[in-house]
Amino acid sequence: MAEVEETLKRIQSQNGVQGIIIVNTEGIPIKTTLDNASTVQYAGLIHQLVMKARSTVRDIDPQNDLTFLRVRSKKNEIMIAPDKDYFLIVIQNPSD
């Protein structure tokens, strides 16, 4: 548990990171650094997008699987690391 906290702190302290959300397989946020409203909004929408991305990968090749997703937009970048039981979502401002 302490390792998780340390990892999250490390990510959070990276330049440009706006927020971190961990959601479970149902899309329910179990940890977040954002306010409640933003968290709920991001969690729901991103969860369904990740499920779609995963299906897309599997439809192309059933032996393949999604390992990472990066959604870049004009204002920020959303990175999602899907795991068996959780998704880690990081929102960053990629101003380099």
Choice between 6 and 28, CB closer to other proteins: 28
Tokens of 7: 């990892």
CB of 72 to other proteins, least distance (A): 4
Using CA of residue 58, residue 60, residue 66, residue 70, what is the dihedral sign? Answer: negative
Distances (CA, A) of 43 to 2, 63, 71, 73, 80: 23, 27, 14, 17, 11
Choice between 5 and 68, CB closer to other proteins: 68
Tokens 């709920």: give the residue.
40
Interface stretch with other proteins, choices 3-11, 13-21, 22-30, 58-66 (CB under 8 A)? 58-66
Q: Does 41 bind other proteins (CB under 8 A)?
A: yes
Q: Which of 3, 61, 85, 96 binds other proteins (CB under 8 A)?
A: 61
- Give the CA angle between residues 33, 42, 53 to the nearest 5°: 125
Q: Does 40 bind other proteins (CB under 8 A)?
A: no
Choice between 11 and 71, CB closer to other proteins: 71
